[in-house]
Structures are given as structure tokens and as C-alpha cells.
Amino acid sequence: MGSRTYEHAINLSKAYGWPYGDIPTIVVTHRNLPIERPNIEFFAGDLEILVNAQLKPKYKNVWLAGGAILAGEFIRLKLADEIRLSIVPIILGNVLLFFDHVGQEQEMHLLDVTAYKNGMVELCYEIKK
């Protein structure tokens, strides 16, 4: 999880509860942030080491919850296999463009589309390597 996503989730959890339950959560950051739950740990370093040495030996699937900068790094380093884009019927305004931080062309293949009654649409893409 990216640090800004973590801060946002912590703020939302005060009203709605922590959305990830007891799932182990690694926050990628160089900042000194409070640990709000026992299943949270922080990582600052090489993302390839995080994925290949820490995560792959323990987990079959890892979900990245983050914004444009962190997701772009995972895509650029070819550490992501799939990307799920959720289109929410709200225009946010002043935000980072999601694919601004990839820095390279990346071919993807559409795997699935799910439409929800609330107007949200989720697109699932395989990242071609």
C-alpha cells in the first residue's frame, strides 16, 4: 500500500472501520507514519527485493492498493501481472494522472469487465511482459 492510501484508509477507518481486516499490510514509504494496527509494517527500499524476497515466498497473490506513483513503479519494474481499474461515477478534480508515472508504453490485454448497480465499472487487464 502507498503511504497516502494508508493515511486515507486510516482516516476512513475512524468512521467505517479498517477495510482490510487482519490481512498483513505493508506500507511503502520513506516517511515516519504511525502504526495504527498490529498487522501493519513499513517498507522503504528496493521494490524488487520487497516482491521477490519478502512477498513471493509467502504469498500466491498480492494486491497493491496505491495511487499513481506506487502503481507506476510496479508496472515500470514489471512487478505487476494484472491491473484492475475502477471507474467511479465521480469526477475528483485535482488529482494525479494514474499513468503519468509509468514512463514507458505498456501493452495490456482486457481479461474482464464488471459493471455494478451503483454505476462503478471495474476493468481487469493482464499486463503483457
Residue, of 45 and 66, whose pLDDT is higher: 45
Determine what percent of the chain is predicted with pLDDT higher than 90: 62
3-state SS string over the chain? Answer: CEHHHHHHHHHHHHHHCCCCCCCCEEEECCCCCCCCCCCEEEECCCHHHHHHHHHCCCCCCCCCCCCHHHHHHHHHCCCCCEEEEEECCCCCCCCCCHHHHCCCCCCEEEEEEEECCCCCEEEEEEECC
Confidence (pTM): 0.79
Mean pLDDT, the chain, integer = 89
Question: What band does 118 get if pLDDT is binned at 50, 70 and 90?
Answer: very high
Task: Tell me which residue of 127, 25, 27, 123 sits closest to 80, measured CA to CA.
Answer: 127
For 14-65, write each residue's pLDDT tens digit.
999 998 999 999 999 999 999 989 999 999 999 999 999 999 999 999 999 8
Residue, of 55 and 85, whose pLDDT is higher: 55
